[in-house]
Amino acid sequence: MRVSLKDVAAHAGVSIKTVSNVVNDYQHVTPAMRARVQRSIDALGYRPNLAARHLRKGRTGIIALALPEFGNPYFAELAAAVIDAAAEHDHIVLLDHTGGRREQEVLVSQAFRARVIDGLILSPIELSADDLRDRAEDVPLVLLGEREYDLPYDHIAIDNVAAARTAVRHLISLGCREVAFIGARRGNSEPAELRLRGWRAELTSAGLSVDDGLVAATDGWGYGDGAAAMVGILTAGRRPDAVFAYNDPMAMGAMRVLHEWGLRVPEDVAVVGFDDVVEGRFGAVTLTSVSPDKEAIGRLAVESVLARLGGTTSEVRRIRAGHRLVERESTLGRRHAAHDGTIRVPS
C-alpha cells in the first residue's frame, strides 16, 4: 500500500502541510522539524509523487535529449551521463534520434511543446543558424558539440583543436614523424575540421611537414569507415608510423587493418583515438584515446536547462568541458600501459 503524506504526518505528529514543506525543501522549516519528519519518511519508506510536484510548478519533469547516432558508443555514454545528471534533479530524459539529418534536427528543435518537456538538449550535425534563428519554441534549448551558433542558446563543448593537438603531441613525443589523420569528413563537419586543424597545427609547431596524402576522408565515422580509410592509405603505398583517428571506432577499425597487413601496434604504427569509449579499454591492444569529460558535459547541460527554466540566469554561456589523454597500449606498448588506462612505472 502506498504511503501518503497523511501517513507520514501521523507518524511524525505534525501537520500534512509541514510534511509537504519538508518534501518540497522549503527553506523556512527548522532543522529540528526537518529531521523529525525525515525520520518518519525513512521509517515508512515514503516516496514523493514527482509528477504531482512538477505539475504544481507548471512543469513536466521531462528533459528531451536529441542525439545524432545511438550506435556510436560515445553518444550512448553521453546519454547515460545526461540521464544520471537529470535524475539528480528529479527529472527523467526523453531520447530522440536525429541520425544527423537536418530535417530531423529541425523537427526536433521546432516540434516539441512546453506541455511535453521542460527543456531540450540537442547535439546537432547539419542544423544551420537560420534554422535555429526561426525557432518559435520558448522551451529552453542547450546545444552540445562543436558547431558554433551566434545565437542566444547555451553551448557546451570541449576544445577540439586543443584536444587534437594533445593527441598528436603525444605521438610526436614517442618519435613518430609520419602521423596520419583518418576521419576528415566528406562534406560539412565542424568537429572533423577542428580535429584536422589541431593535427595540422601540432605538426607545424613541431617543425614537421603537413602531408595531405596522410589525410583520409570518410562518409561516416564507424568501425568500417576507419578500416576503409586505413586500407586506402596503405594501398596508396603510404606507411605512416602513427594514426590519429577522429574517434575510437575508427581507430579500432584501423587497428584491425594494421593487424591484417602484418603491422604491429604500437611497434610499427602507434594509434590514438578520440572519445575514450569503454570498448577501447578491452581490446587485444588497449586504445590510447582523448577522453572528453562526458559526466561534466551531461551535468552542465542539465544544469543549463534548469537554470533557464528557473529564470536564474539570462546570460548566454559558451562552456568548455575538460578533456585528457588516456595513454594505453596502442601507443605505449604492453609493458608500460595498464588496461584501466593508468601508466605502469617500470621497475
Spell out the domains of the chain, with CATH numbers in brackets.
Answer: 5-48 (1.10.260.40), 62-158+293-316 (3.40.50.2300), 160-292+326-332 (3.40.50.2300)
pLDDT higher than threshold 70 for residue 314: no
CB 327 within 8 A of CB 343: yes
Per-residue pLDDT, averaged over 114-125, amounts to 84
What strands lie across the sheet with 242-245, from one edge to the other? 215-218, 179-185, 242-245, 270-274, 288-292, 323-326
Nearest partner of 153 among 183, 185, 181, 131, judged by Cα: 131
Q: Which range among 15-29, 152-166, 293-307 shows the weakest confidence by mean pLDDT?
A: 15-29
Q: d(Cα 55, Cα 68) in Å, to the nearest integer?
A: 31
Q: Where are the beta strands (DSSP E) in 172-247?
A: 179-185, 215-218, 242-245
Q: d(Cα 253, Cα 336) in Å, to the nearest integer?
A: 23
CB 63 within 8 A of CB 91: yes
Neighbours of 99 (CB within 10 A): 13
What contacts 261, CB < 8 A, 6 or more positions away?
A: 234
The residues that bridge with 143 in the sheet, in sequence order, are 122, 155
Phi, psi of 149 (to 5 degrees): -130, 125
Query: If pLDDT is split at 50, 70 and 90, which confidence band does 111 have?
Result: low
What's the confidence (pLDDT) of residue 45? 83
What's the confidence (pLDDT) of residue 61? 86
Query: Residue 293 is placed in which grid cell?
Result: 569529460
Nearest partner of 238 among 250, 246, 230, 226, judged by Cα: 230
Local structure of residue 337 (DSSP, 8 states): B
Q: d(Cα 184, Cα 79) in Å, to the nearest integer?
A: 25
pLDDT higher than threshold 90 for residue 347: no
pLDDT digits (tens, 9 = 90+) for 323-339: 999 999 999 997 565 54
Q: Is the peptide bond before 266 cis (omega within 30 degrees of 0)?
A: yes
Query: Residue 19 is placed in which grid cell?
Result: 510534511
Share of the chain above pLDDT 70, in %: 87
- In sign, the C-alpha dihedral spanning 294, 202, 208, 191 is positive
Type of residue found at 209: S
Query: Residue 26 is placed in which grid cell?
Result: 522549503
Q: Where are the beta strands (DSSP E) in 52-131?
A: 62-67, 92-97, 119-122
The residues that bridge with 272 in the sheet, in sequence order, are 244, 288
Please provide the average confidence, as pLDDT, over all residues in the chain. 87
Q: d(Cα 212, Cα 155) in Å, to the nearest integer?
A: 32
Local structure of residue 57 (DSSP, 8 states): T
Q: Where are the beta strands (DSSP E) in the chain?
A: 62-67, 92-97, 119-122, 141-144, 154-157, 179-185, 215-218, 242-245, 270-274, 288-292, 318-320, 323-326
pLDDT digits (tens, 9 = 90+) for 222-269: 999 999 999 999 999 999 999 999 999 999 999 999 999 999 999 999
Neighbours of 216 (CB within 10 A): 25
Query: Residue 41 is placed in which grid cell?
Result: 519518511
